[in-house]
Structure 1
């Protein structure tokens, strides 16, 4: 046994594991353990100052919350396992063994299935879900929703959600647009003076369950089957993490959908349109005649468009043989241009791609012929030019030339 005042071997092992975990977290952020500890102390001091407490009081409050959460978790485990609460008499072991065969005979299930399964670990967030969201947090969420955070779609609990990075949210909070909105548009936005205050403003989102930190998981992990081939590339399946931190490279998922008045107005317009179409026989005669004339006019314009397309195709087929390369009526009719630009110009000749290729090659051939002529007529008086990359073949056979007298 360890001497009084000295830690036991189990406590020493726990302390060593905590130190290793602390060093790993510091290395993950590219800092030394001392720098990481200093950053944690500064963040703790800022959080305590925000609540109007001293660091010691804030630490004591956090410890009390952790103890209460641990007690609730232990009570939940006891209730799941069916163990008696403290202070209640325990049944003898023989009586429990006598009750188990009777229970098996009643339920008809083996004993291995009746044993309590280990409870899965739940993600604990240091907030109270029953409380309404903070108005300041709602103002921050509404502002960030209107900013370009480059969100990407992810799957959370089988639902599609928008995910963003912390660094982009902090950058938007530190931007002049946030200061302008806080000064003129929305007075509920907290003021931001430095990086620490920007992070404190961002922390309002997880505290009010408007956005939570998530991490990527593989939904097929632990399965023996192969990965499906129809997986969407870039579509993450995520889970909510227990510790809500503000590292710049971490991902948060939006749980705040924003004002829904646009969706409600669109749904009401769709329902009204469906009712209007269904109740068409009850419309006044003038409205029904107007709709009929409008539909006939639209069908006439559509038929005129198809007739013009067929006529221009026939005209092109005739002019291809009569006046090559062919004439197009409204050559930009099916181009990716505006409505009025589709009918400009009135006509145009068919452009051939082969002729374009020949035109591009012709100057190069002319230049090479011009360059080759001076090289063939150079004299010894002129300076020798640099040797060409391609060797020139010369005819060295003997020849007899006729001389005119």
Structure 2
């Protein structure tokens, strides 16, 4: 398969020579990459979160979190019926793919445009051999970049592309609107200024109430601690629970902790005496 107007045989980092031996200028390479970019973006948008790929979490150079997949799953996704149905819609900007050979040609486009990068997954014994400071982790395999792209079924590739967030423009507009709203505060109507004043005072009062409750419950705890029976008055505002759960129970007597080490030593001593 050949992509119209795209030279697939000129990967980045090559000798810049055509098959006939002619020298290829850097401008021609950049022009070819620019032509491939829309195709690569359309493919990446389809593949990035595709369930067929079964993206896995890994560590690049044992430090950076990445997502990687097997090459055979990339081919499987490109020749699937779902891809054919999505390709029928021109909005998706997907080129037609007939077989695995055509999928391999398009995977070259993804590699040349740096959407995906070939990587090698290291086994546990290979991690320390590569770098003595690296620590193997069971939940996330360690990977390193590969200098050669292979198209074998079990070769690995990592993602170097993140799908754009469609809500980023909305977030940006809201941020700009908020900044202008604060800047234009002197021009606000008097009623709005008064409303903001009372709202801010209410929030400050609520915050002060929280601190007051925390101080009072601490004082009560310290006083009861002197009598040997600590008492906690709730709500516990610093617990990692919801607002309602912080009031349950309303109060509690703290139970003294039992020393397990003393009991174990005593029992061992008794057993020794029995043996003697």
The answer as to whether partners of 1:330 and 1:342 remain within 8 angstroms in 2 is: yes
Give 1:300's aligned residue: 205
Secondary structure of 2:239's counterpart equals coil
Ranges in structure 2 where 5+ consecutive residues have no aligned partner: 3-7, 10-15, 121-130
Give 2:275's aligned residue: 392
Give 1:344's aligned residue: 248
**Pairing partner for 1:141 from 20, 23, 44:** 44
Give 1:313's aligned residue: 218
Give 2:257's aligned residue: 353
Equivalences for residues 5-404 of structure 1 within 5 A:
50=1, 68-69=18-19, 71-73=21-23, 128-133=32-37, 138-147=41-50, 149-151=55-57, 164-167=68-71, 169-170=73-74, 173=77, 181-182=82-83, 187=88, 197=100, 200-201=102-103, 203-208=105-110, 209=113, 211-214=115-118, 238=145, 241=147, 243=149, 245-254=151-160, 256-322=161-227, 324-330=228-234, 332-354=236-258, 357=260, 361=263, 392-393=275-276
Q: Deviations over 1:181-205 (max 9, x none)?
A: 5477664678999xx73x8536524
Ranges in structure 1 where 5+ consecutive residues have no aligned partner: 1-49, 52-60, 77-121, 217-226, 373-388, 394-405
Give 2:13's aligned residue: none
Alpha-carbon spacing, 1:192–1:242, altered in 2? closer, same or farther (3 Å):
same
CA distance in structure 2 between the aligned counterparts of 1:211 and 1:235, rounded to whole angstroms: 20
Q: CA deviation at 1:279?
A: 1.4
Greater C-alpha Rg:
1
Secondary structure of 1:328's counterpart equals strand
Q: Deviations over 1:340-389 (max 9, x none)?
A: 2112110001133336x38x959x95xx99xx9xxxxxxxxxxxxxxxx9
Q: CA deviation at 1:316?
A: 1.1
When normalised by structure 2's length, the TM-score is 0.61
Q: CA RMSD in A?
A: 5.0
Q: CA deviation at 1:298?
A: 0.8
Q: CA deviation at 1:68?
A: 2.5
Q: CA deviation at 1:270?
A: 2.1
The answer as to whether partners of 2:118 and 2:158 remain within 8 angstroms in 1 is: yes
Alpha-carbon spacing, 1:129–1:191, altered in 2? closer, same or farther (3 Å):
closer
Count of residue pairs the alignment pairs up: 233
The answer as to whether partners of 2:57 and 2:65 remain within 8 angstroms in 1 is: no
The answer as to whether partners of 1:330 and 1:347 remain within 8 angstroms in 2 is: yes
